[in-house]
């Protein structure tokens, strides 16, 4: 019941915040923060309750929902999903604190509506990472669109309606393809087992013929690639991330996009091992293209929010690369990458949000010399940025290294090309820093940009601390992740190539 | 042969048609001021009583049930009226759905608070539109209570249609429920010319399609010497008269596909949905579809089941056309009622997937879809009828801008219905689509399901567009407002919304019902 409870806490929170009477509406933030923190405590409790010697599902609970279709309410977590849930549970209160004054009551939406939607989003986030009935997963996968749609469409920038609609349509189209594949999988299971099922663990035992696997794989993969997003299905992300409030962007890029890569790792590989191996070379090519395309386009951006969105597309290339090389290092690197990326991109969006709300512009050219006016703010930005470019000592370095080390054994060419992505990462981050932070502050910057406030610092410091701590003791996270990675490898039936560079703790 | 009438099995039909006759007498004998009250006191109890009989028939086991029992559901399975009517599980489910929808729609028809001049129907539909007579009758507050006998006959015909067991009974039922619809369609209080034009179109095209149906039945009779479904099915197996049978099947399909509004027999749908009085549109979009699909299921499962390899290609084409053309044309509409009409054409395509499966799964999933779609459709048109300005309903899409700000509750319920029509999870529409698609994949129609998925994606766009319009745009200055309805419409909308949610979140009891309904009897 732990996982259901973990969903109930933010759900109750969302309802309470929504129902706050108008005269008490100013309490919405405090109440929402309280519920978000309670969820965080619960999720840490859940993580500590994991047995790290088991790779399979834990905290498992299962209740019939629609027996006629073999649908059940099955929740469970592996080390990977548990880490992602905790990561999300950290980001939600952070986004709430950071966005304390970002929204105001307007004809479009109220402050309490905003915070209520964020809590509702958290309900579905926990659900989507812990669902182990594919139908239930699909329901959360789609349901999550609605809070995020309203968060973008009601509380964002001037182009928000366009961005929200684009996001919704991309996701819906992806979702419909997944639905088609889901139906196909259900029919396959009902032919093999007599009674159709969506239970993840049962589905991994099916023996699906390779032709069917390939068809079904494509349906799921398309939906996940849109969500991730991978080039060429990525164009919704920059629009959405640039128009949303910084808090929403943090959750959108930091958490929601992980659903795609998480689902590839957690569902696609175990259920369609043959098809995964068949498509892996093509997907690796797409991943490398994403790495480069994202990085190059990021360098060319003049809007800072869009820039960060494009760097994420580059990062997702790395994550997908690590998943589809299917080595233990690649997989644990990708899993760890997902967690790190949540923190570092979250921090970047928040710091940029601070700057943008001060200056009232998202154009990079409107900044310059910020470090003279607000040195701490600039420092915080630098640390988040360095985490974004995977500097050694930051947690993202460990994960990027693991991904590249793991993929070298399988596909040296792709790995060598991908390594150049790191150079580009240095370019987009450091050049951004140079343009925005160094130099002589213009008069507007001097007037508008003030030093980071205590509230803003409280929101972002935990993220920085986690990035640095996990950079020095990655073992804490890898110990949780690795058993789950081994389990995935076992489902797929792959072992590491002999010559693989073994890193400490990769468990192979 | 001794022909006896199984009164209990036929009770729902007899009650409705009997009430229709009584209702005509009321029109003749009761003074105008009392008519409406007395009509309502007749209509609602008779629908409830008929529904009670359907439930009784569905739950009581007849002693020595002579017919092989296909499902696990207890209840009546018998050929009544000398084999002209087949009361069986699926038939009773369809009857139940029709009665539920009729009850809810009757609530809408009885509403007279949303239009300051009276109910949704012309004060005297015999007066010329725009004439002095019309103005006087309207000013004096006359109500056209003839709607009620027509409505009762219509529902009675609909109850008979899906349980007809031969082509002639089916034809009679078809006419019994169609003729009142043509009449009521012409009786709108506002925009009367549009309404009359719609009714005339509906009548002429409907008459054509009836003729096709009858011609098809004649050809089948020529080939098999019978109009009875089970005899026809048996005779077809060993028949060499393909030259008669194949055109016969095609012509009968034309008649039935016209009624469900499938492409290329859909041209009447947008005009009639738009022109008819909105409560009737609600009723027609739901109940006509349910009744006609019930009949389509019976004909193509029982009479033509053995010929499925011959008619499937035709149905594939019709299903693909309906889904694709319905969705694409809906995108281009600027009138709410027309958009919903094209969306209903697309839904016809989805439901046809269940017919094409010709399996137990196909049958049960189609029944579920019909129930889910029926409630959503009634609800959606009920709300369309509430958004008005001084000249009547405001159906142009631009007039719906910003409705979410002026009437958040109503706009939210409308959004719920649209999401259900789009097939978003946790709504009844999703469960229905899922069931139908699954049965189609299982029946080997995977390419059709892929088309259906693409069509759903297109459809999601125009439903989402309306939601965006309601919630994310500023209301126009002189925009329409939402009229506060009386309890009639409130109950109707509430019931539909509850059913839409319930069938999405906890569909298991209803799924059990449709699965246990078993197969058609022969």
Question: Cα–Cα distance between A182 and A197 in angstroms, integer?
Answer: 11
Q: Chain B residues contacting A, CB < 8 Å?
A: 405, 424-426, 431, 434-435, 437-438, 441-442, 446, 449-450, 453-454, 456-457, 460-461, 464, 468, 471-474, 507-508, 511-512, 515
DSSP-derived secondary structure letter, B423: T
Mean pLDDT across B299-313: 90
At residue B70, does pLDDT exceed 50? no
- A169 to chain B: which residues are within 8 Å by CB? 460-461, 464
Calculate the alpha carbon distances from B195 to B5, B134, B168, B276 in Å.
Answer: 40, 15, 31, 5
Q: pLDDT grade, residue A506 (50/70/90)?
A: very low
Contact B508 A190 (CB under 8 A): no
ipTM: 0.83
Nearest chain B residue to A107 by CA distance is B405
Contact B438 A186 (CB under 8 A): yes
For B345, phi then psi, to 5°, come to -65, -45
Among residues B256, B255, B272, the alpha carbon closest in space to that of B195 is found at B272
Contact A69 B441 (CB under 8 A): no
Instruction: Parse chain B into domains and list their residue ranges.
Output: 7-516
Q: pLDDT grade, residue B68 (50/70/90)?
A: very low
Question: Cα–Cα distance between B372 and B513 in angstroms, integer?
Answer: 13
pLDDT of residue A45: 92
Q: How many helices (H) and strands (E) does chain B have?
A: 21, 5
Query: Is there a contact between B73 and B27 (Cβ–Cβ < 8 Å)?
Result: no
Q: Does A385 touch chain B (CB under 8 A)?
A: no
Q: B110-158 pLDDT, tens per residue?
A: 988 888 887 888 888 888 888 888 888 888 888 888 999 999 999 999 9
Count the alpha carbons within 13 Å of A65 in the hemisphere toward its beta carbon: 22
Question: Cα–Cα distance between B148 and A220 in angstroms, integer?
Answer: 52
At residue A508, does pLDDT exceed 50? no
Q: What percent of chain A has pLDDT over 90?
A: 56
CA distance between the termini of chain B: 19
Looking only at the bridges linking them, the beta strands covering A58-66 and A71-77 are: antiparallel
pLDDT of residue B66: 45
Query: Is there a contact between A355 and A449 (Cβ–Cβ < 8 Å)?
Result: yes
pLDDT of residue B406: 84
Q: How far is A225 from chain B (nearest CA, A)?
A: 17
At residue B71, does pLDDT exceed 60? no
At residue A500, does pLDDT exceed 60? no
Looking only at the bridges linking them, the beta strands covering B387-389 and B481-482 are: antiparallel
- B473 to chain A: which residues are within 8 Å by CB? 161
pLDDT of residue A505: 47
**B interface mutation test: which of A68, A124, A142, A167 has the most B CBs within 10 A?**
A68
Mean pLDDT across A159-180: 87
Q: pLDDT grade, residue A111 (50/70/90)?
A: confident
CA–centroid distance for B26 within its chain: 27
For B483, phi then psi, to 5°, come to -80, 140
How high does pLDDT run on average in chain B? 90
Contact A67 B507 (CB under 8 A): no
| Least trusted range by pLDDT, from A22-31, A140-149, A245-254 | A22-31
How many CB pairs lie under 8 A apart between chains A and B? 72
Secondary structure of residue B118 in the 3-state scheme: strand
Q: Does A69 touch chain B (CB under 8 A)?
A: yes
How high does pLDDT run on average in chain A? 89
Mean pLDDT across B258-279: 93
| Least trusted range by pLDDT, from A98-102, A112-116, A208-212 | A98-102
Q: B76-109 pLDDT, tens per residue?
A: 778 888 889 998 889 999 999 999 999 999 999 9
pLDDT of residue B67: 44
- B437 to chain A: which residues are within 8 Å by CB? 179-180, 183
Calculate the alpha carbon distances from B489 to B110, B114, B346 in Å.
Answer: 8, 9, 27
Nearest chain B residue to A190 by CA distance is B442
Q: What percent of chain A has pLDDT over 70?
A: 97
At residue B69, does pLDDT exceed 50? no
Question: Cα–Cα distance between A427 and A422 in angstroms, integer?
Answer: 9
Mean pLDDT across B291-318: 92
Q: pLDDT grade, residue B62 (50/70/90)?
A: low
At residue B63, does pLDDT exceed 60? no
**B interface mutation test: which of A176, A193, A195 has the most B CBs within 10 A?**
A176
Residue of higher predicted confidence among A134 and B75: A134
Contact B464 A168 (CB under 8 A): yes
Contact A187 B442 (CB under 8 A): yes
At residue A44, does pLDDT exceed 80? yes
Query: Is there a contact between B451 and B323 (Cβ–Cβ < 8 Å)?
Result: yes
Question: Cα–Cα distance between B395 and B393 in angstroms, integer?
Answer: 6
At residue B520, does pLDDT exceed 90? no
Q: B345-390 pLDDT, tens per residue?
A: 999 999 999 999 888 889 999 999 999 999 999 999 999 999 888 8
Nearest chain A residue to B422 by CA distance is A172
> Using omega within 30 degrees of 0 as the cis cutoff, is the peptide bond preceding A229 cis?
yes
Within 10 angstroms of residue B2's Cβ, the number of other Cβ atoms is: 4
Within 10 angstroms of residue A22's Cβ, the number of other Cβ atoms is: 9
Q: pLDDT grade, residue A507 (50/70/90)?
A: very low
Q: How far is B420 from chain A (nearest CA, A)?
A: 13
Query: Is there a contact between B80 and B86 (Cβ–Cβ < 8 Å)?
Result: yes
Contact A168 B442 (CB under 8 A): no
Q: Does A433 touch chain B (CB under 8 A)?
A: no
At residue B408, does pLDDT exceed 50? yes
**A interface mutation test: which of B368, B508, B517 has the most A CBs within 10 A?**
B508
Residue of higher predicted confidence among A100 and B260: B260
At residue A136, does pLDDT exceed 70? yes
Question: Cα–Cα distance between B429 and B435 in angstroms, integer?
Answer: 10
pLDDT of residue A433: 92
Count the alpha carbons within 13 Å of B238 in the hemisphere toward its beta carbon: 3
**A interface mutation test: which of B456, B466, B502 has the most A CBs within 10 A?**
B456
pLDDT of residue B73: 54
Q: A264-312 pLDDT, tens per residue?
A: 999 999 999 999 999 999 999 999 999 999 999 999 999 999 999 999 9
Nearest chain B residue to A168 by CA distance is B464
- B457 to chain A: which residues are within 8 Å by CB? 172-173, 176
pLDDT of residue B165: 93
pLDDT of residue A94: 92
For B131, phi then psi, to 5°, come to -85, 170
pLDDT of residue B3: 67
């Amino acid at each position: 019941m732990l996982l259901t409870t973990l969903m109930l806490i933010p759900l109750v929170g969302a309802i309470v915040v929504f129902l706050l009477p108008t005269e008490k509406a100013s309490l919405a933030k405090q109440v929402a923060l309280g519920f978000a923190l309670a969820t965080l405590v619960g999720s840490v409790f859940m993580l500590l309750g994991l047995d790290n010697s088991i790779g399979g599902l834990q905290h498992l609970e299962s209740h019939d929902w629609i027996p006629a279709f073999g649908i059940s309410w099955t929740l469970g977590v592996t080390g990977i999903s548990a880490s992602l849930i905790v990561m999300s549970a950290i980001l939600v209160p952070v986004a709430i604190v950071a966005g304390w004054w970002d929204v105001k009551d307007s004809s479009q939406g109220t402050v309490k509506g905003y915070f209520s939607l964020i809590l509702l989003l958290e309900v579905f986030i926990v659900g989507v990472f812990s669902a182990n009935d594919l139908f239930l997963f699909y329901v959360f996968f789609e349901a999550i669109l609605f809070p995020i749609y309203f968060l973008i469409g009601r509380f964002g920038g001037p182009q928000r309606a366009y961005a929200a609609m684009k996001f919704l349509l991309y996701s819906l189209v992806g979702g419909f393809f997944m639905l088609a594949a889901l139906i196909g999988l259900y029919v396959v299971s009902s032919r093999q087992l007599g009674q159709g099922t969506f239970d993840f663990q049962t589905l991994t035992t099916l023996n699906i013929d390779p032709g069917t696997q390939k068809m079904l794989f494509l349906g799921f993969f398309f939906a996940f690639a849109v969500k991730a997003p991978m080039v060429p299905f990525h164009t919704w992300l920059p629009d959405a991330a640039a128009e949303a409030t910084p808090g929403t962007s943090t959750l959108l890029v930091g958490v929601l996009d992980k659903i795609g890569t998480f689902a590839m790792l957690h569902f696609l590989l175990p259920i369609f091992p043959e098809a995964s191996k068949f498509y892996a070379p093509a997907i690796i090519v797409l991943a490398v293209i994403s790495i480069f395309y994202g990085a190059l386009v990021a360098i060319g951006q003049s809007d800072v929010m869009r820039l960060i969105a494009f760097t994420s597309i580059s990062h997702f290339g790395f994550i997908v690369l690590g998943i589809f090389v299917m080595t233990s290092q690649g997989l644990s690197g990708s899993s760890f990458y997902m967690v790190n990326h949540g923190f570092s991109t979250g921090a970047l969006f928040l710091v940029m949000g601070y700057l943008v709300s001060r200056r009232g512009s998202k154009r990079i050219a409107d900044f310059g010399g910020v470090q003279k006016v607000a040195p701490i703010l600039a420092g915080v930005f630098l640390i988040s940025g360095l985490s974004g470019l995977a500097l050694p000592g930051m947690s993202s370095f460990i994960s990027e290294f693991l991904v590249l080390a793991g993929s070298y054994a399988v596909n040296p060419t792709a790995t060598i090309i991908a390594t150049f992505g790191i150079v580009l990462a240095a370019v987009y981050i450091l050049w951004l820093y140079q343009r925005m932070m160094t130099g002589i502050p213009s008069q507007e910057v001097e007037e508008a940009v003030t030093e980071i406030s205590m509230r803003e610092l409280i929101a972002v410091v935990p993220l920085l601390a986690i990035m640095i701590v996990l950079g020095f003791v990655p073992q804490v996270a890898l110990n949780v992740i690795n058993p789950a990675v081994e389990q995935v490898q076992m489902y797929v039936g792959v072992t590491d190539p002999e010559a693989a560079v073994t890193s400490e703790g990769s468990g192979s | 042969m001794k022909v006896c009438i199984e009164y209990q099995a036929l009770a729902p039909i007899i009650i409705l048609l009997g009430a229709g006759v009584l209702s005509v007498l009321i029109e003749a004998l009761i003074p105008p001021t009392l008519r409406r009250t007395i009509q309502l006191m007749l209509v609602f109890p008779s629908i409830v009583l008929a529904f009670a009989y359907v439930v009784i028939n569905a739950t009581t086991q007849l002693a020595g049930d002579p017919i092989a029992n296909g499902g696990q559901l207890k209840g009546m399975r018998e050929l009544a009226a000398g084999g002209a009517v087949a009361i069986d599980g699926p038939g009773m489910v369809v009857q139940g759905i029709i009665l539920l929808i009729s009850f809810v729609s009757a609530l809408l028809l009885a509403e007279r608070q949303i239009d300051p001049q009276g109910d949704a129907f012309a004060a005297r539909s015999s007066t010329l539109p725009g004439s002095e007579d019309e103005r006087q009758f309207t000013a004096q507050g006359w109500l056209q209570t003839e709607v009620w006998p027509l409505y009762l006959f219509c529902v009675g015909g609909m109850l008979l249609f899906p349980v007809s067991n031969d082509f002639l009974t089916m034809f009679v039922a078809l006419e019994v429920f169609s003729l009142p619809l043509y009449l009521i369609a012409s009786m709108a209080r506002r925009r009367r010319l549009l309404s009359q034009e719609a009714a005339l179109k509906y009548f002429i095209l409907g008459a054509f399609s009836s003729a096709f149906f009858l011609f098809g039945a004649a050809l089948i009779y020529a080939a098999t010497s019978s109009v009875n479904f089970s005899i026809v099915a048996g005779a077809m197996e060993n028949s060499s008269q393909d030259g008669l049978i194949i055109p016969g099947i095609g012509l009968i399909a034309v008649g039935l596909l016209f009624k469900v509004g499938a492409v290329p027999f859909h041209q009447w749908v947008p005009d009639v949905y738009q022109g008819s009085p909105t409560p009737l549109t609600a009723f027609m979009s739901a109940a006509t579809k349910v009744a006609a699909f019930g009949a389509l299921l019976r004909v193509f499962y029982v009479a033509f089941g053995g010929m499925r390899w011959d008619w499937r290609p035709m149905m594939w084409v019709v299903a693909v056309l309906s889904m694709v053309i319905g969705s694409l044309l809906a995108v281009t509409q600027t009138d709410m009622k027309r958009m919903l009409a094209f969306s209903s054409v697309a839904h016809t395509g989805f439901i046809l997937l269940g017919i094409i499966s010709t399996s137990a799964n196909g049958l049960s999933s189609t029944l579920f879809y019909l129930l889910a779609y029926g409630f959503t459709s009634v609800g959606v048109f009920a709300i369309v009828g509430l958004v008005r300005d001084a000249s009547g309903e405001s159906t142009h899409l631009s007039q719906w801008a910003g409705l979410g700000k002026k009437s958040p509750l109503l706009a939210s319920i409308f959004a719920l219905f649209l999401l259900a029509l789009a097939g978003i999870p946790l709504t009844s529409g999703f469960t229905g689509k899922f069931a139908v698609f699954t049965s189609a994949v299982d029946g080997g129609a995977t390419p059709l399901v892929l088309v259906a998925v693409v069509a759903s994606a297109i459809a999601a766009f125009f439903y989402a567009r309306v939601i965006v319009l309601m919630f994310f745009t500023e209301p126009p200055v002189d925009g329409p407002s939402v009229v506060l309805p009386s309890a009639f419409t409130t109950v109707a909308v509430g019931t539909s919304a509850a059913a839409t949610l319930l069938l999405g979140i906890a569909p298991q009891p209803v799924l059990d019902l449709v699965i246990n309904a078993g197969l058609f009897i022969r």
